[in-house]
């Protein structure tokens, strides 16, 4: 009877579940207590930290000695955590951040320096980086302090919103290493800052954007003092997570199509999703709440 039950170990004990389900007989309680409760607790990560604040999940890159250089293991952990939070109905938005010194100083140069083309090609090197992030249905807000260079800048640009600390530095220095950006820099940076600036940054490898410049170019949407950055980012993520999750997901999908579709196809896509929101409880609640001059209580359905 209870075989498929999955319970968060820290939110409910077996006893609480027994009580909630009104399990009265000793035999049924025994059966329930012998169930292996599947843990949804964070696995033990070595290079990131994860926590939740209400409906917001926070992933902090934590490889300080290498300035959060993105080695394979670090990226696997990021992807794993993102997948977990994307599938957690209690989470409405994710914040991705690093340390005050570095969001991430790029792909791990020491790890990849001896790599060969044939293995890169066969393993689709860097392909796995964006896989989970681009599949994410929930919004990700990046809080960037310090260096966001190479793959670090690209990682920030894979997120939906970027907030920067005053000392943030965005750049694509790969050309200095005899290579080019490989995780979206030539594409997303160009969309964000325009061709001339993107070319200047990518071809020289030394023209970087500070936080205010990044804001002026539209790469980031707000700049905060470093010590306030995470708090402000979490505030925005909390605001997003308080909205109806279905309309948030649809809005994110529609905005992202602006990068993929012609204007008429994009407008068509948007209109269909807009019409579809009227099948949700949250649209009924949101509009009724407006008419009744009260705050909506979204149920994310
Ligand atoms: N890979 C591996 N290790 C890195 C790293 C990286 N991308 N960036 C920094 N580190 C390591 C350094 O080697 C150093 O380690 P040790 O103490 O063991 O020597 C440690 O982090 C601290 O770095 P620095 O001593 O260099 O610190 P700094 O303050 O003097 O300079 C910096 C900071 C300007 C960010 C400098 O570290 C730097 O230029 N890093 C490389 C930046 C870069 O080229 N990024 C692009 C990588 S390629 C890429 O990302 C491809 C892609 O498109 C995906």
In this structure, are residues 73 and 46 in contact, taking their beta carbons and an 8 Å threshold? yes
pLDDT at 129: 86
Distance CA 82, CA 100 (A): 22
Mean pLDDT of 46-50: 97
Residues 6+ apart with CB under 8 A from 209: 169, 170, 171, 193, 197, 201, 217, 219
CA of 102 from ligand 1 middle (Å) equals 10
Dihedral, CA atoms, 111, 114, 117, 122, nearest 10 degrees? Answer: -50
The band of 13, judged by pLDDT with boundaries at 50, 70 and 90, is very low
pLDDT at 173: 98
Tell me if 77 CB under 6 Å of ligand 1: no
Tell me if 92 CB under 6 Å of ligand 1: no
In this structure, are residues 203 and 172 in contact, taking their beta carbons and an 8 Å threshold? no
Distance CA 264, CA 114 (A): 46
pLDDT at 43: 76
Mean pLDDT of 148-170: 98
Tell me if 108 CB under 6 Å of ligand 1: yes
Atom 36 in ligand 1: residue holding the nearest Cα: 105
When mean pLDDT is compared across 17-21, 134-138, 203-207, the lowest value belongs to 17-21
Tens-digit pLDDT profile for residues 237-261: 999 999 999 999 999 999 999 999 9
pTM: 0.88
Distance CA 158, CA 104 (A): 13
Residues 6+ apart with CB under 8 A from 14: 7, 32, 33, 35, 37
In this structure, are residues 21 and 34 in contact, taking their beta carbons and an 8 Å threshold? no
Q: Is 178 left (phi over 0), alpha (psi -120 to 50) or beta?
A: left
CA of 237 from ligand 1 middle (Å) equals 29
DSSP state of 6: -
Which atom of ligand 1 sits closest to the CA of residue 205? 44
Q: Which of 174, 47, 156, 169 is nearest to 109 (CA)?
A: 174
Query: What residues pair up with 56 in beta bridges, in sequence order?
Result: 53, 93
In this structure, are residues 85 and 54 in contact, taking their beta carbons and an 8 Å threshold? no
């Amino acid at each position: 009877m209870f075989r498929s039950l999955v319970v968060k170990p820290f939110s409910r004990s077996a006893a609480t579940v027994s009580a909630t389900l009104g399990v009265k007989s000793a035999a049924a309680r025994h059966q329930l207590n012998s169930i292996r409760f599947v843990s949804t607790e964070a696995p033990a990560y070595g290079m990131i930290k994860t926590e939740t604040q209400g409906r917001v999940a926070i992933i902090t890159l934590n490889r300080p000695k290498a300035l959060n250089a993105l080695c394979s293991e670090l990226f696997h952990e990021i992807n794993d955590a993102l997948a977990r939070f994307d599938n957690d109905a209690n989470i409405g938005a994710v914040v991705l951040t690093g340390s005050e010194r570095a969001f991430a100083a790029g792909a791990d140069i020491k790890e990849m320096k001896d790599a060969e083309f044939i293995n890169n090609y066969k393993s689709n090197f860097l392909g796995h980086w964006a896989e989970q992030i681009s599949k994410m249905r929930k919004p990700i807000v990046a809080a960037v302090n310090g260096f966001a260079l190479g793959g670090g800048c690209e990682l920030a640009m894979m997120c939906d919103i970027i907030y920067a600390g005053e000392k943030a530095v965005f750049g694509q220095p790969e050309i200095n290493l005899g290579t080019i950006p490989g995780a979206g820099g030539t594409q997303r940076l160009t969309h964000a800052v325009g061709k001339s600036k993107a070319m200047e940054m990518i071809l020289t490898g030394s023209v970087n954007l500070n936080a205010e410049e990044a804001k002026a170019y539209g790469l980031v949407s707000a700049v905060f003092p470093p010590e306030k950055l995470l708090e402000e980012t979490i505030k925005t993520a909390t605001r997003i997570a308080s909205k109806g999750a279905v309309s948030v997901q649809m809005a994110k999908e529609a905005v992202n199509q602006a990068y993929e579709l012609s204007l008429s196809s994009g407008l068509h896509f948007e209109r269909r999703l807009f019409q579809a929101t009227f099948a949700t409880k949250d649209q009924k609640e949101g509009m009724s709440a407006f008419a009744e001059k009260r705050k909506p209580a979204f149920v994310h359905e």
